[in-house]
Chains A and B, each alone.
Chain A
Amino acid sequence: MKLPSLRDVATEARLLLIGIPVFLWTMIPIYHMFLFAISPKEDAFSGKLWPDHPTLHNFTIVFKQQHYFLRDFYAQFWNSLVIAAAVGVLTLVIATAAAFSISRLRVPGGRIVMNLALFTYFIPAAFLAVPMYRTMGNYGLLNNHWSLILAMVTIASPYAIWVLKQASDKLPVELDEAAVMDGATTLQIFRMVYVPLMMPSLVAIGTYAVLLAWNEYLYAFLLLSNDREITLPVALGNFLAADDSPWELLMTTGFIYALPPAAIYYAFRRYMVGGLTAGAVKS
Chain B
Amino acid sequence: MSCHEGRVAARAAVRRLLPRLLLGLPAVALLTLFFVLPYVEMVAMSFRAPAFGQPFGSGHTLMHYGRALGDPIYTGALLRSLLTGALITALCLVISFPLALHLSRLQGRWHVVFYACIVSPLLIGVLVRNFGWMVLVAVDGPFNRWLLAAGLIERPFRVLFTQGLVVMALVHVFTPFMVLPIATALRNVRPELRDASASLGAGGWETFRRVTLPLSFPGVQAGVTLVFVLSVAAYVTPALLGGQGIAYMPAVVVRELIGSFAWPFGAALAVIMAASTLAVVTVFTLATHRLAERTRG
On whether the two chains bind one another, the answer is: no
Interface residues of A (CB under 8 A from B): none
